[in-house]
Homo-oligomer: A and B are copies of this chain.
Amino acid sequence: MAEVTYLEALRQGLFEEMERDKEVLILGQDVGKYGGAFKVTEGFQERFGEARVIDTPISEAAIVGAAAGAAHMGMRPVVEMQFMDFISCAYDMLTNYVATARYRAGLSTPIVVRGPSGGYVRGGPFHSQNPEAAFFHTPGLKLVCPATARDAKGLIKAAIRDDDPVIYFEHKYLYRRIKEDLPEGDEILTPIGQARVANEGTDLTIVTWSAMVWKALESAEIIEKEDGASVEVLDLRTLLPMDDEAIIASVRKTNKVLIVHEDTRTGGVAGEIAARINEKAFEWLDGPIMRVTAHDTPVPYAPPLEDFVLPQTEDVVKSARWLLAY
């Protein structure tokens, strides 16, 4: 066992897959000599050479498109977005080309597009986004959002081996803040599409993912301590495909649901989750499905503004209490 950060776990996962399969390539801005803006691929180019770790021009659409082309030929390219905010520059390529390739033309496109997302780091409107909802609506893509170091490793490895295109959202706030003991010998693989019960509980379910898992756990602890109620925290891990069964099972147990995500509210992923719970477990609900999310604004820069816009533990606690009292 060794204690590793979220970032180091991710780095290990990538490294192991590069070692295992010579078809795995890395493409992105400054990923080579520099090792990436957050140093996720530090040392990779020395180890695997310039042919497999490629510094690219500032051309998100071309990088994703080129990865898709190489993937058609049997390679397994991993694309880094310097910040996930810039994935919007490859929106057409991902939604129109990559996502539809298998459906419309039988093409296999096993690529991974990964990069830092999320706020709480004073990054302002263009270095704090959570663009998962933009792709959640696109059949053909898979979306993963690890919350723990173990899953950062397990999901990147699973994503690389997956035969479908995967967008892998790292949370930059967690990079060096989360640490975990991981076994050194065994292989860690987290299956895509399976949620994880991060905390067992009976009175209320919080459905969440990525950095919000930690705020949910903190809230559960507070409520347990102060209110004596027991809160289940479900870490979705994968948004596409979504583990409906795990969600419904938890709802049937607790009968109350709070969905928490960092991204803005209107059109966010929580809406779909609420709709699915409503469709599949309406009779099991003892209160409205509630959402705690960011406000519907860009993420502002100044700390008090950012803190106000993004969801905080106290917001989760407040809504959970409201629901518990319902």
Q: How far is the CA of A282 from the CA of B272 in the complex (A)?
A: 16
User: At the interface with chain B, which of A63-71, A185-193, A263-271?
Assistant: A263-271
Q: Is A290 an interface residue (CB 8 A)?
A: yes
Per-residue B-contact encoding for A51-77, CB less than 8 Å = 1, 0 else: 000000000000000000000000000
Q: Is A225 an interface residue (CB 8 A)?
A: no
Q: Beyond A274-B271, A291-B275, is A137–B298 a contact (Cβ under 8 Å)?
A: no
Q: How far is the CA of A103 from the CA of B298 in the complex (A)?
A: 8
Q: Are the CB atoms of A85 and B96 closer together than 8 Å?
A: yes
Q: Are the CB atoms of A139 and B88 closer together than 8 Å?
A: no
Q: Beyond A125-B100, A134-B134, is A290–B298 a contact (Cβ under 8 Å)?
A: no
Per-residue B-contact encoding for A278-309, CB less than 8 Å = 1, 0 else: 11001001011111000011101000000000
Residues of A122-177 at the interface with B, using a CB-CB cut-off of 8 Å, are: 125-126, 133-134, 136-140
Q: Are the CB atoms of A104 and B88 closer together than 8 Å?
A: no
Q: Which of B137, B288, B291 interacts with A267 by CB under 8 Å?
A: B137
Q: Which of B100, B138, B271, B289 interacts with A272 by CB under 8 Å?
A: B271
Residues in B with CB closer than 8 Å to A278 are: 274, 278, 288-289
Q: Is A224 an interface residue (CB 8 A)?
A: no
Residues in B with CB closer than 8 Å to A242 are: 266
Q: Which of B92, B100, B266, B273 interacts with A139 by CB under 8 Å?
A: B266
Q: Is A313 an interface residue (CB 8 A)?
A: no
Q: Is A95 an interface residue (CB 8 A)?
A: yes
Q: Is A89 an interface residue (CB 8 A)?
A: yes
Q: How far is the CA of A140 from the CA of B103 in the complex (A)?
A: 33
Q: Which of B125, B139, B282, B291 interacts with A264 by CB under 8 Å?
A: B139
Q: Is A113 an interface residue (CB 8 A)?
A: no
Q: Are the CB atoms of B282 and A288 closer together than 8 Å?
A: yes
Measured CB to CB, the nearest residue on chain B to A268 is B137
Residues of A227-280 at the interface with B, using a CB-CB cut-off of 8 Å, are: 240, 242, 263-264, 266-275, 278-279
Q: Which of B240, B287, B297, B298 interacts with A282 by CB under 8 Å?
A: B287
Q: Beyond A125-B100, A137-B133, A264-B139, is A291–B279 a contact (Cβ under 8 Å)?
A: yes
Measured CB to CB, the nearest residue on chain B to A291 is B275
A to B CB contacts below 8 Å, 29 in the list = A88-B91, A88-B95, A89-B92, A91-B134, A96-B126, A103-B125, A104-B125, A104-B300, A133-B137, A137-B268, A138-B267, A139-B264, A139-B266, A139-B296, A140-B298, A267-B272, A268-B272, A271-B272, A271-B273, A271-B274, A274-B274, A274-B275, A275-B275, A275-B291, A278-B278, A278-B288, A279-B288, A279-B289, A282-B288
Contacts A139-B298, A270-B275, A279-B288 known; list 5 others, CB within 8 Å. Answer: A88-B96, A133-B137, A266-B272, A271-B274, A278-B288
